[in-house]
Structure 1
């Protein structure tokens, strides 16, 4: 979602009312992250794509990016040429390597992982890394874990 010059949306999970369906009883958890666009005055927008197949293949999946290096691999293009969001769904014992970047933000929405050189991270933990990358992240126990990683290459001079 791009707020751009303004966007109206509802974060209520009530679409079932409009479709005449039954009330949902399973809990829903949202993770909301924002990245500032690198240009002003852009129109608002919204895009949604299914990436379950990519996540099931293992490794980091580029979910959203404005970086040229991801122009053919990103599921969604964003309006920030310095940032990319990656996700991974790791089975127990599964591991991925963080990309190298001036700035990384790692968030663990589900499960527990071990970040090489740092130690254990639990569900809900976040880590900001600078001038780094290449560390391995491993899911510790069944059923595994999910991670979100922002890769950022901007500096203050770029803005």
Structure 2
């Protein structure tokens, strides 16, 4: 099975300070065909105006990752962490048995563009935790490179049998995509244009697949992607 998640069919939340696009059902957006994929529950692309953000709120039993494309985001949580996150950094908050946090754009002049990702852990409860790591800008140049995982050595440790990869490509690069039987693949295009088996994907689109022969994502322009290798 292979299907493209058209960016124009994503849900959208628009407020005075936030424009958010939802690859899966989220908030008031409900689509039976977009209810998550294995433990992957949320892939939101957020645009936050200067000086605004998410006021303190609670989470439990979720791994929440933040990946900034431009601008910065300031994080505070009930564990006492206070940090700023920018491009080439990865943040993961393990909500565990419960955590309160806030995420704000600290700039008064520059907007923030980020992806927020929610992945269900293999087991609920446990102690909440926070990780933030600077990634080498060359990590994923021309090929998939793991940035978070619960199955293999990776910069950030997940609490599920999920592997998350990043790739940064130029025109002409071909990225092979495959997952083992019994697993899902999900490729989220962050920027640029690529083609797979004659179909075009651009920023905001995603590719979901399982039980398929290996395929290649061939890049028509420079771009960036995240790839999830997920248990069912």
TM-score range, shorter chain: 0.7 to 0.9
Alignment gaps of 5+ in structure 1: 15-22
- Please tell me whether residue 114 in structure 1 is matched to residue 198 in structure 2: no
Secondary structure of 1:87 counterpart: strand
Cα distance between partner residues in 2 of 1:152 and 1:133: 17
Q: 1:68-107 CA deviation, whole Å, 9 max, x = no partner?
A: xx22xx1111111x21111101112222212423201111
Cα distance between partner residues in 2 of 1:64 and 1:96: 19
**Which 4+ stretches in 1 moved above 4 angstroms?**
none
Instruction: Report which of the two has the higher share of helix.
Output: 1
TM-score, length basis structure 1: 0.77
Q: 1:29-74 CA deviation, whole Å, 9 max, x = no partner?
A: 111111100012121111111223442643111011001xx22xx1
Cα distance between partner residues in 1 of 2:198 and 2:109: 38
Q: Contact between 1:54 and 1:61, CA under 8 Å: does it hold in 2? A: no
Q: Equivalent residue for 1:86?
A: 165
Selected match of 1:41 from 125, 130, 135:
125
Instruction: Report which of the two has the higher share of strand.
Output: 2
TM-score, length basis structure 2: 0.55
Q: Equivalent residue for 2:209?
A: 129
Cα distance between partner residues in 2 of 1:66 and 1:56: 19
CA distance 1:94–1:112, change in 2 (3 Å): same
CA distance 1:52–1:83, change in 2 (3 Å): same
Selected match of 2:224 from 146, 150, 158:
146
- Please tell me whether residue 61 in structure 1 is matched to residue 145 in structure 2: yes
